[in-house]
Amino acid sequence: MALDPRFCPTLRRRTNWAIMALPYHRIIVKIGSNVLTQPDGFPDLARIRHLVAQIAALKKEGKEVIVVSSGAVASGRSLVQVPTKADAVTSRQVLAAVGQVKLLATYAELLAEHDLLCAQVLVTKEDFRDRVHYLNMQNCFRALLRNNIIPIVNENDVISVTELMFTDNDELAGLVASMLNADALLILSNVDGIFNGDPKAPGAELIPEIEPTMNSFSSFVTTQRSQFGRGGMITKCHMAHKVAQLGIAVHIANGKTENVLPRLLAEEVANTRFQPNKNASSKKKWIAHSDLAAKGAVHINSGAKEALTAAGRATSLLPVGVLGITGTFQKGDIIRILDETGKALGLGLAEYGSDKALERLGHQNQKPLVHYDYLFLTADIS
């Protein structure tokens, strides 16, 4: 199968870790369920110990490390047997409630062997919706890092049900990376990266680099979900691409590879790297992940769409290009931006409320409804 020409054709090889290491300082390490779990569904303690040793080595190099770790349910499964008649949500809540304690205790014990402290941070989607709450959480993370404490982040599976659930911990890791303005997000999965087909199929090749202009993954990425996690490679691709659009490098690598973290940073191990786009402001990074917080929507005409999406131009959304408004919103609310057909184009921070926006609808020489600095456009606009 031929590679898309937008993919880099070769995998770079490095031999000197100290000289050639990638210059990342603040790193988010997301460890997937299939990395931390044995085939029988119980925790792989040897694997966790090996990963902790690698994280400790990164810390000793002066890097800041935030760990987004799955594995609470697997840890709970090793301690308690939930009756088979219990529904899936209840079972997950019980296993997570018991298992999260053991998971964090495991990390704490292993990190203590390296004279390091960790802290537990449990979150839900709701925690990212409110700007004030978002900033409070951001300050907490920064305080932990200043005190040389490693945050261990996981979804709060005890209370996360239905609409409060993340798609998977990849989504959570992307939110944390954006919140903390990380240099890189390293996603440890059970495969070497993104392939141009089913990784198990003959002839499938690893894609070492994915450029910011790439936006269609469904033609070659399998939709199969992981054995113990909720997500799949398609969701990883879309999340990784979105984070890379915000100026954060994203790598997907096999967490079961020996010494994967130092070898990844030394470019000595197979992986897929999503090339970062230009840097975005911290507020724009919050806006990019705030679809659930949107209070209303504006429909724009083709001229406004063309102006907003023109390459190399920084354009604000003006009332003259707005065709209609759905819902009500106030100044400072997140609003969705849709084209004439209803296709989502992006998100923005309203400069004024929907009442004033309606008064200025289609008028020229008006204050922008969404300023460029507070506008995030999705990567798949065509």
Q: What residues form the annotated binding site for substrate?
A: 70, 157, 169
Please, are residues 361 and 321 in contact by the beta-carbon 8 Å criterion? no
Q: What is the DSSP letter of 43?
A: B
Q: Are 233 and 196 in contact (CB under 8 A)?
A: no
Radius of gyration of the chain (CA): 22
Give the residue ranges of the annotated binding site: 30, 70, 157, 169
**How far is residue 368's CA from residue 373's CA, in Å, rounded to a whole number?**
11
Cα 170–chain centre separation: 5
Is 164 strand, coil or helix?
A: helix
How far apart are the C-alpha atoms of 315 and 126, rounded to whole Å?
31
> Rounded to the nearest 5 degrees, what angle is found at the Cα of 293, between the Cα atoms of 288 and 294?
85
β-bridge partners, 5: none
3-state secondary structure of 326: strand
Pick the closest to residue 262 from 16, 70, 36, 12 (CA basis): 16
Distance CA 236, CA 292 (A): 19
Residues in binding site for ATP: 30
Is the alpha carbon torsion for 268, 273, 275, 280 positive or negative? negative
